[in-house]
Protein backbone atom coordinates (compact mmCIF):
# COMPACT_ATOMS: atom_id res chain seq x y z
CA UNK A 1 0.00 0.00 0.00
CA UNK A 2 1.26 3.46 -0.84
CA UNK A 3 -0.54 6.50 0.50
CA UNK A 4 -0.13 9.93 -0.99
CA UNK A 5 -1.78 13.19 -0.08
CA UNK A 6 -4.27 14.36 -2.64
CA UNK A 7 -4.21 18.12 -2.36
CA UNK A 8 -4.64 20.76 -4.99
CA UNK A 9 -1.35 22.41 -4.11
CA UNK A 10 2.38 21.76 -4.21
CA UNK A 11 2.26 19.37 -1.25
CA UNK A 12 -0.02 17.03 -3.19
CA UNK A 13 2.20 17.19 -6.28
CA UNK A 14 5.33 16.48 -4.26
CA UNK A 15 3.64 13.57 -2.54
CA UNK A 16 2.53 12.16 -5.91
CA UNK A 17 6.06 12.40 -7.33
CA UNK A 18 7.40 10.41 -4.39
CA UNK A 19 5.31 7.36 -5.30
CA UNK A 20 8.03 6.13 -7.67
CA UNK A 21 10.66 6.50 -4.94
CA UNK A 22 8.51 4.70 -2.37
CA UNK A 23 7.75 1.93 -4.84
CA UNK A 24 11.44 1.43 -5.67
CA UNK A 25 12.32 1.30 -1.97
CA UNK A 26 9.53 -1.18 -1.28
CA UNK A 27 10.70 -3.44 -4.11
CA UNK A 28 14.28 -3.26 -2.85
CA UNK A 29 13.35 -4.62 0.58
CA UNK A 30 10.24 -6.73 -0.09
CA UNK A 31 10.28 -7.66 -3.77
CA UNK A 32 7.16 -7.49 -5.87
CA UNK A 33 4.25 -7.20 -3.50
CA UNK A 34 0.69 -6.12 -4.26
CA UNK A 35 0.36 -2.35 -4.06
CA UNK A 36 -2.71 -0.17 -4.01
CA UNK A 37 -2.31 3.59 -4.09
CA UNK A 38 -4.47 5.55 -1.66
CA UNK A 39 -5.02 9.10 -2.93
CA UNK A 40 -5.97 10.52 0.45
CA UNK A 41 -7.83 13.65 1.50
CA UNK A 42 -10.50 13.44 -1.19
CA UNK A 43 -12.74 15.29 1.25
CA UNK A 44 -10.56 18.39 0.80
CA UNK A 45 -10.54 18.63 -3.00
CA UNK A 46 -13.04 19.13 -5.77
CA UNK A 47 -13.07 15.77 -7.53
CA UNK A 48 -14.30 17.40 -10.74
CA UNK A 49 -10.93 19.21 -10.99
CA UNK A 50 -8.86 16.03 -10.73
CA UNK A 51 -7.04 14.60 -13.73
CA UNK A 52 -7.08 10.84 -13.25
CA UNK A 53 -4.89 10.19 -16.31
CA UNK A 54 -1.54 10.77 -14.59
CA UNK A 55 -2.23 8.47 -11.65
CA UNK A 56 -3.83 5.81 -13.89
CA UNK A 57 -0.76 5.85 -16.15
CA UNK A 58 1.49 5.38 -13.11
CA UNK A 59 -0.68 2.53 -11.81
CA UNK A 60 -0.52 0.83 -15.22
CA UNK A 61 3.24 1.37 -15.68
CA UNK A 62 4.08 0.08 -12.20
CA UNK A 63 1.59 -2.80 -12.34
CA UNK A 64 -0.16 -1.66 -9.15
CA UNK A 65 -3.49 -3.27 -8.27
CA UNK A 66 -5.20 0.09 -8.60
CA UNK A 67 -5.76 3.38 -6.90
CA UNK A 68 -8.53 4.73 -4.75
CA UNK A 69 -9.55 8.27 -3.91
CA UNK A 70 -9.87 8.03 -0.14
CA UNK A 71 -10.53 10.03 2.97
CA UNK A 72 -9.15 8.90 6.29
CA UNK A 73 -11.40 11.51 7.88
CA UNK A 74 -14.69 10.24 6.42
CA UNK A 75 -13.63 6.67 5.63
CA UNK A 76 -14.60 7.08 1.99
CA UNK A 77 -13.21 4.21 -0.14
CA UNK A 78 -10.76 3.06 2.56
CA UNK A 79 -12.47 -0.31 2.98
CA UNK A 80 -12.67 -0.83 -0.79
CA UNK A 81 -8.93 -0.22 -1.14
CA UNK A 82 -8.04 -2.64 1.65
CA UNK A 83 -10.42 -5.25 0.22
CA UNK A 84 -8.55 -5.08 -3.08
CA UNK A 85 -5.32 -6.00 -1.28
CA UNK A 86 -7.01 -8.73 0.77
CA UNK A 87 -8.66 -10.25 -2.32
CA UNK A 88 -5.32 -10.35 -4.15
CA UNK A 89 -3.52 -11.98 -1.21
CA UNK A 90 -6.32 -14.52 -0.77
CA UNK A 91 -6.28 -15.36 -4.48
CA UNK A 92 -2.48 -15.78 -4.52
CA UNK A 93 -2.58 -17.94 -1.39
CA UNK A 94 -5.20 -20.24 -2.90
CA UNK A 95 -3.12 -20.67 -6.05
CA UNK A 96 -0.27 -22.03 -3.92
CA UNK A 97 -2.44 -24.61 -2.16
pLDDT of residue 77: 93
Distance between alpha carbon 91 and the CA centroid of its chain, in Å?
A: 19
Residues sharing a CB contact under 8 Å with residue 24, sequence separation 6 or more, in sequence order: none
- Tell me, what CATH number does 76's domain have? 3.40.50.300
Paired residues of 66 in beta bridges: 36
Which whole number is the average pLDDT over 5-11?
59
Q: How many domains, the chain?
A: 1
Q: What is the average pLDDT score of the chain?
A: 83
Q: Where in the sequence is the domain holding 61, given as residue range(s)?
A: 2-96
Examine the pLDDT at 3 and tell me if it is beyond 60: no
Global confidence as pTM? 0.77
Query: What span, in angstroms and rounded, lies between the C-alpha atoms of 95 and 27?
Result: 22
Amino acid sequence: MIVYILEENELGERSFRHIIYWHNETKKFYGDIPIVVFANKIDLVNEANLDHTEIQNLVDERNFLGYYLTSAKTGENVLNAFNTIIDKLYYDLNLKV
